[in-house]
Homo-oligomer: A and B are copies of this chain.
Amino acid sequence: MSKKRKLLIDTSLDLFYSNSINSIGINEILKTSGVAKQTLYSHFESKESLILSALQQRHTNFIEWLKTKLDGVDSNEQLIIRLFNALESWFRNSESMLGDFHGCFFINSASEFNNKQSNISLFCKQHKHEVRETIKQYMSQENLFLLDAICIMKEGAITNAYVSGDYSSAIKCIRILKQYENNTAFTD
Contact = CB atoms under 8 A, between A and B. Distances in A.
- In the complex, which of the residues A20, A154, A157 has the most CB atoms of chain B within 10 Å of its own CB atom? A20
A26 to B, nearest CB: 15
Contact of A20 (B111, B155, B159, B164): B111
Contacts of A113: 20
Interface string A104-115: 001111111111
A43 interface: no
B159 A107 contact: yes
A169 interface: yes
Given A107-B107, A112-B22, A169 B183 contact: no
B163 A152 contact: no
Given A148-B169, A172-B148, A103 B111 contact: yes
B19 A114 contact: yes
A129 B164 CA distance: 8
A24 to B, nearest CB: 10
Interface residues of A, number: 49
Given A108-B111, A110-B162, A128-B164, 18 more contacts: A20-B113, A103-B110, A107-B111, A107-B159, A108-B112, A110-B163, A116-B165, A145-B172, A149-B176, A151-B156, A152-B156, A152-B160, A152-B176, A155-B159, A155-B163, A156-B157, A176-B176, A179-B184
Interface of A: 18-20, 22-23, 102-103, 106-116, 121, 124-125, 128-129, 145, 148-149, 151-160, 162-165, 169, 172-173, 175-176, 179-180, 183-184
13 contacts: A22-B22, A22-B112, A103-B111, A107-B107, A108-B111, A109-B111, A129-B164, A145-B172, A152-B160, A152-B173, A153-B153, A153-B156, A158-B159
